[in-house]
Every structure is written in C-alpha cells, then in structure tokens.
C-alpha cells in the first residue's frame, strides 16, 4: 500500500508544481490623495492651479487645472516630499509630507512595490491640515485634508 501511495505522491507533486504561479497583487499605493476644504463652510474648496511641483522631480502636475482634490505620487527615493502649489490668483501654498518607505519584492515577474508607512505632515502654510488616513492602501481614500 505504501508503495502505491509513494507512486501516487509523485503524480500529485507534479500536479501541484503549478501552484507557484506569480501573483502580482500589490498591498498598497504610492499615491497620496489630498482634498481641499473651505475652513469657514467645511465644504469642498475648488482651487485654480497654475501648477503643482514636487521637490526632486522635473515634472509639472495639475498645470492650468481647476479641481477640489489632487492625487500626487510619493517620492520613494526620499522619506520627505515638499510640495508647492501655485494658484492662478498669484498665491502659493507649501506642504511637506514625511513617511517611511519599505520596499517589497512581489515576484520576479511583477517586480517591486513600495509600502508607504507612517505618513505625517512635516510642515505646511495652510490654515489647518488634517491627516485623515495615514495608510496609503488604495488610490481612492482621501489621506490629507487641507483647509484655507
């Protein structure tokens, strides 16, 4: 009987070998979602941007755009990211995010992901700021609310 099971096991193990397929599921995101709120009315605040710049990047974000919320990529090369928001009315606001970056290999085929942990507000010049959700787990949830 044991010999039969030994042979049976050989077949089963061959079948099971396909269970090691790569799974490209990511556990988080490297995008921070920021919403603007009118402090006096506690309602959405629509801002007209000239542009938004991120320190360390040559890219321009939200150029000539009007919106009440923004989504920005986190700089995974650093643990701090100063953001400058230039508005159509000539004013500009600054916000610096601080966080930890922990890399994780998903698989050889899927590559790396970066887990952003412990998001905090290092500095800002808005009227007030609320850290709504410091965990960057999806690309929908608002992480930071900026009041002015």
Q: Which residues in the 117-146 window bind another protein by CB under 8 A? A: 117
Cβ pair 143, 32 in contact under 8 A: yes
d(CA 117, CA 136): 8
CB contact at 8 A, 71 and 33: yes
The stretch among 15-23, 41-49, 123-131, 138-146 that binds another protein (CB under 8 A) is 15-23
Closest CB 64 distance from another protein, rounded Å:
19
Window 47 to 86, contacts with another protein (CB under 8 A): 54, 56-59, 73, 75-78
Q: At closest approach, how far in Å is the CB of 105 from another protein? A: 4
Number of residues forming the site for another protein (CB under 8 A): 38
CB-wise, 115 or 126, nearer to another protein? 115
For residue 18, count CB atoms less than 10 angstroms from its CB and return exposed for 0-12, middle for 13-18, buried for 19 or more: exposed
Cβ(23)–Cβ(111) below 8 Å:
no
């Amino acid at each position: 009987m044991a010999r039969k099971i030994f042979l049976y096991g050989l077949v089963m193990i061959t079948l099971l070998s396909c269970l090691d397929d790569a799974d490209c599921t990511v556990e988080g995101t490297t995008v921070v979602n920021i919403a603007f709120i009118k402090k006096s009315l506690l309602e959405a605040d629509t801002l007209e941007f000239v542009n938004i710049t991120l320190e360390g990047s040559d890219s321009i974000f939200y150029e000539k755009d009007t919106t009440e919320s923004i989504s920005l990529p986190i700089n995974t090369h650093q643990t701090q990211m100063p953001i400058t928001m230039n508005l159509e009315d000539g004013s500009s606001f600054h916000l610096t995010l601080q966080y930890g970056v922990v890399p994780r290999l998903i698989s050889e085929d899927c590559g790396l992901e970066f887990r952003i942990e412990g998001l905090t507000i290092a500095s800002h010049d808005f009227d007030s700021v609320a850290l709504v959700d410091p965990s960057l787990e999806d690309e929908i949830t608002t992480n930071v609310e900026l009041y002015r």
